[in-house]
Structure 1
Amino acid sequence: MAHKKGQGSSRNGRDSNAQRRGVKLYAGQEAKAGNIIVRQCGNKFDAGKGVGQGKDYTLFALVDGFVRFDRKGSRVNVVATREEACAAQ
């Protein structure tokens, strides 16, 4: 027990950067192909039509269009027109 354990302020000075997860484009907003729609940890949202999923579960638009969440809110789609995107909301 030769190590000093008191006065730990110099050891405790670490803090990690935030990971900035969450929804980036909401329902009815325009998405271009490649735009990130949701950054997530695990499958909180599933990829629907016109949406791809990255290896870190990031959802991104595969086609140009408008973002639409289904009624349960668990599936994300990219549809061609704004009316179609807002119809299910």
Structure 2
Amino acid sequence: MSKTKAGGSTRNGRDSESKRLGTKVFDGQDISAGSIVIRQRGTKIHPGENVSKGGDDTL
């Protein structure tokens, strides 16, 4: 009996695509209305004055 797996019988090698979360605009930058400031999962940072929260918690 063989003590090693057959070639090609691997369980590794998969990874999900990155979601590109994080801060998109930093302090002092000018932005127009409707532009994305932060992409996040959950409400880690709450919207402030003149900022709204999207369905996916984007500010």
TM-score range (shorter-chain normalised) is 0.7 to 0.9
Q: Structure 1, unaligned stretches of length 5 or more?
A: 1-5, 60-89
Cα distance, 1:42 vs. partner?
Answer: 0.9
Gaps of 5+ in 2: none
Report the TM-score when normalising by structure 1: 0.53
Aligned: 1:52 with 2:52: yes
Cα offset, 1:45, TM superposition: 0.8
Q: What is residue 36 of structure 2 aligned with on the other side? A: 36
Find the structure with the greater CA-based Rg. 2
Task: Give the letter aligned to residue 23 of structure 1.
Answer: T
Aligned-residue RMSD, C-alpha = 1.4
Q: Percent identity between the aligned chains?
A: 45
Structure with greater strand share of residues: 1
Give runs of aligned pairs for residues 3-82 of structure 1, distance below 5 A. 6-7=5-6, 8-9=9-10, 11-59=11-59
Shift of 1:54: 0.6
- TM-score normalised according to structure 2 size: 0.76
Structure (1 or 2) with the greater helix fraction: 1
